[in-house]
Chain A
Amino acid sequence: MSSIIIVILVTLGTLFVLLSAIGLVRMPDTYLRISVNTKAATLGVGLILVGTAVFFNDLSTTSRSLVIILFVFLTAPVSAHLIGRAAYFMGVKMWKGSLIDDLEGKYQKNTHVLKSDSGDGDSPDHSKDEDDIVK
């Protein structure tokens, strides 16, 4: 009975990992590849580790698997946000089919300070840099 559960969990996880690999090759844009990484690969590895915990049926192995799952689920969004921010400042082009760039014209290019439209949340020492806002 537990072998059937392991087969289902590991097969689903492997399919998610394979889909994320295909998406990493096929997606046209850096930001879409970040999205693939964060969702599909994390879920696939989590399912495989749950299958490992079911197979060993042991307190120590289960706790180790749960710690790995918790760590991967916590750190994947943080690293995706950091690398997406770095890619945006490096000037990586978006895909030509992307419709909205919400950050366009709201970042100072040299100081990386976020600046809102109404200008109420901005500190006064950055107001003189308004001419070199990212276009």
Chain B
Amino acid sequence: MTLIDYLYYIILPILALSVLLIFYRFLKGPSIADKIIALDVLITTGIGIIGVYSIINGVSTFLDTAMILALIAFLSTVAFSYYLEKRNRKK
């Protein structure tokens, strides 16, 4: 079994299983904070999947996409928590 086969048949299914578990929490989450956390972990896991996929295909350009995804994850979490806190503040 080569490195590519190991990544393709063992590592990627485990990452896909963890994406499914996180998506279950994203759909179910009791409060809206749980959904935002699940969205953040979802994008972080997506960065990992992009890293493994770039090893499989041998294309390092995919890492630029991972960088932009990291930026978007931080921005969305900050914006969501800012508006959640502002919504509950009675001035």
Contacts and interface: CB of A to CB of B under 8 A. Distances in A.
A77 to B, nearest CB: 11
A26 to B, nearest CB: 9
B70 A18 contact: no
Interface in B33-65: 33-34, 36-38, 40-41, 44-45, 47-48, 51-52, 54-55, 60, 63-64
B54 A52 contact: yes
A87 B19 CA distance: 24
- Report whether over half of chain A's contact residues are helix, strand or loop; otherwise say mixed: helix
A18 B15 CA distance: 7
A68 B40 contact: no
B67 A71 contact: yes
A33 B29 CA distance: 11
Given A41-B45, A72-B70, A86 B55 contact: no
B52 A10 contact: yes
Given A20-B18, A75-B74, A92 B25 contact: no
A112 B89 contact: yes
A133 interface: no
Interface in A74-119: 75-76, 78-79, 82-83, 85-87, 89-92, 110-112
Contacts of B17: 18, 21
Nearest to A92: B31
Contacts of A89: 85, 88-89
Contact of B40 (A22, A37, A110): A37
Given A68-B70, A71-B70, A87 B47 contact: no
7 contacts: A10-B55, A45-B51, A51-B55, A52-B51, A61-B60, A68-B63, A83-B37
Interface of A: 3, 6-7, 10-11, 13-15, 17-18, 20-22, 24-25, 30, 33-34, 37, 41-42, 44-45, 48-49, 51-52, 55-56, 58, 60-61, 64-65, 67-68, 71-72, 75-76, 78-79, 82-83, 85-87, 89-92, 110-112
